[in-house]
Structure 1
Amino acid sequence: MARLTRQYVDEQILDRAAGLFARHGFAHTSLKDLADAVGLSKAGLLHHFPSKEALFEAAMEMGRTQSQHVLDQVSPLPDGPARDRRAVELLVDFALERPGLVALASRAINTLGSDETDDGDNGLAGVDRLVFDVFGVTPDSGDTERLVRVVGMLSALAVLSLSANRAGDKTGWRPHIVTTCLDALGHRRASPSPSPFDLAQAEA
């Protein structure tokens, strides 16, 4: 059996820890909670990350790195449905592999404009700013509809990626998650043509 690399183990730890931070917040997540979640003793966890603060910052940095990667991929595309689709597909693929990190990013975005500082949030500094850049919107742009749609899409993505992992069917869920996210952004699929049965029912 191949030995797991340190990077892979660290990424698994970060994702599980991020999911815990997303559910309970930084202040209400203890080192013991984190160790239990990743299946390590507190000493074992501290061997990978020297403190809870270091673990949280590493998780946020991993999210920022992925968000920057998505931004780099979509930046050459003009604003519009094609760019949104590409961004959503990249984010869905990442979310299905790292649902905890996406949940943490969603939490940071969903607390914008609130007085919540539990997670050391400094406004649009980090993963949340980068995600907004991906979709070409900022909270102070005046485009309320677009802002609401982007926040709603990210919230749906976090919930659905977690559900897909729990269901153990990431491949089967993926196209439906992509469609749902695009719907949230306002890119609805054209309604299918009615079947002969539907037409007969309507005429009856």
Structure 2
Amino acid sequence: MPTITDISQLDPNGDYNYADYLTWQFEERLELLKGKISLMCPGPNVRHQRFSIYLSSHLFFYFQNKPCQVFEAPFDVRLYDRKKSLLASKEITTVVQPDICVICDPDKLDEQGCNGAPDWIIEILSKGNSQKEVKTKQALYAESGVKEYWLVFPYEEVINQFVLNDETSLYQLTNSYAGDDLAMPFLFPDLAVDLAGLFKEG
């Protein structure tokens, strides 16, 4: 496949896969959602970055000397229906870059990023995020089998915690943390995130 060096060479209404994605060599950041191009917001603002650094550093120290690993965006995660086996690049049509993700299965990691669902994803909303984008990605995370999903609202100073129901393959809102709460991951109950410190950073 020829290398694409300018985003204008892509059809905004076209359908693409991961093999196509690997040929794109331009500055703009984008994700693939079910084959459709989704442009990411311009560089995150200061509040977003402070939240991201606070959370990722907290998780980094917690997971030291543990089998799980923490990754920050930009980091490619290839998603597909968890009921399917490993797919070839041309069959993968969803590539996302979560703000923070935790991966406990080392077999999912390769030189390109993560091939399959992380165990835990944290997304920090920016003002440019649309509700459509949020709902679409949440549905994709559930379909692919991401066990826990946190949605951080920096300006409202709230974290919504979703846990995947294995029977329905849908997320359940387990907790909504705010103020000086200690946010406790379902998957890692001995990890406590001090929201007073987080929101102070913001």
TM-score by length of structure 1 reads: 0.26
Of Structure 1 and Structure 2, the greater helix share is in 1
Of Structure 1 and Structure 2, the greater strand share is in 2
* Higher RCO (CA < 8 A, seq sep 6+): 1
Larger Rg: 1
TM-score by length of structure 2 reads: 0.26
